[in-house]
A and B are shown apart, each in its own frame.
Chain A
């Protein structure tokens, strides 16, 4: 009886291992992380050049799937040096004190269009849940994970002093991401 229990446990563990999500890491050069803000009534786009995504994902094992992204806030690039200097400064990202942002999913669910997830975003030293919508497309030698999110910058205290007002710089920020994933190994 006891042996049988052990065998069952082994089978269960083995089964879980077989169905585990595949592990990937992002191809830095091919992946893109973009944000779209509103400034003086007009949208502007910027990107983060340096970020790393570690992804455990399989469409049939969402419970053990996970997306984990580390972003180097210093790598922000809004295609204008003056604006980038302001964004890195103490009133906005304050990269001197908060050099990285971190996003890690808590739960992933299947949707009609793809997948949605809720994850904890730590930005500017503040951690809050941010939902994302994404699609996962397996391909030769990896996968592509692309999607979008929306957040309010003031939820994270991004924008102090002069930049706290939303008259000139809007509160809502759109995030678009396209991650080219390679298997870990």
Chain B
């Protein structure tokens, strides 16, 4: 079917990517914060091993999602949004895509720099991106930590914006990303 007019809802694939990655990001924050509180020990390494496995899963999903997104148009933003709102929405989504790549990549490089190679759920080991380097590790850790707070802030803005659209503007911006719903309200 030629994609002439933009769809009014996100497709099942787009919704799948969105909610799966969103859930994994919540898991990632939970694992990272739990591990941060622990001293270096078997429990901490186990939590971080899971964090790395999920991180590589997110990176793989991000690649697939970006490829899919390049060939599939998303629904358009509802009319009535101001230019600044449109720019902010656009910037938020671009930043999300950037962080979906940069977060796992800085994490992967951190592990490489510390000579703790990344295993994927004990099934196989990803190659090291850089050689062991303490200074590089410290820079990468600061970057990874700082960007995690940026991701947290952007996610918060994203959630608040979705709720604002739903309850304040009463448009279908939230509903069209929700499975098992219909977009009755016209955008």
User: Does B99 sit at the interface, judged by CB under 8 A?
Assistant: no
Give the CA-CA distance A169 to B134 in the complex, in Å: 22
- Judge whether A42 and B119 touch: CB under 8 Å: yes
B121 touching A79, Cβ below 8 Å: no
Residues 6-43 of B, flagged 1 when their CB comes within 8 A of A and 0 if not, give 00000000000000000000000000000000001111
Contacts of A169 in B (CB 8 A): 42, 45
In Å, the complex CA distance between A105 and B185 comes to: 82
Taking CB atoms, residues of chain B closer than 8 Å to A39 are 45, 116
B77-135: which residues lie under 8 A (CB-CB) from chain A? 114-123, 125, 132, 134
Residues in chain A near residue B123, CB distance under 8 A: 41
**B162 adjacent to chain A (CB < 8 Å):** no
A residues near B132, Cβ cutoff 8 Å: 79-80
Give A131-185 interface residues, CB cut-off 8 Å to B.
162-163, 165, 167-169
Residues A168 and B119 in contact, CB atoms below 8 Å apart: no
Q: Which A14-57 residues sit within 8 Å CB-CB of chain B?
A: 39-45
B116's contact among A42, A86, A163, A165, by CB below 8 Å, is which? A42
Chain A contributes a number of interface residues (CB within 8 A of B) equal to: 20
Q: Find out whether the CB atom of B49 lies under 8 angstroms from the CB atom of A79.
A: no
Give the size range of B's interface with the partner.
20 to 34
The reply on A97 being an interface residue by CB < 8 A is no
B42 touching A168, Cβ below 8 Å:
yes
- Which chain A positions have C-beta within 8 A of B136? none
A40–B46 contact, CB under 8 A? Answer: yes
User: Does B48 touch A at the CB level, under 8 Å?
Assistant: yes
Are the CB atoms of A40 and B116 closer together than 8 Å? yes
Contacts of A45 in B (CB 8 A): 115
Contact at A43–B40, with CB atoms within 8 Å?
A: no
User: For B52, what are the chain A residues with a Cβ–Cβ distance below 8 Å?
Assistant: 40
Flag if A80 contacts B42 (CB, 8 Å). Answer: no
Q: Are A44 and B115 in contact (CB under 8 A)?
A: yes
Alpha-carbon distance between A44 and B132 when the two chains are bound, in angstroms: 11
Q: Are A81 and B134 in contact (CB under 8 A)?
A: yes
A41 adjacent to B125 (CB under 8 Å): yes
A78 contacts B by Cβ under 8 Å = yes
11 contacts between A and B (CB under 8 A): A39-B116, A40-B49, A41-B122, A41-B123, A42-B125, A78-B115, A80-B134, A83-B115, A83-B116, A162-B43, A168-B49
> Which residues in A have some Cβ–Cβ distance to B below 8 Å?
39-45, 78-83, 86, 162-163, 165, 167-169
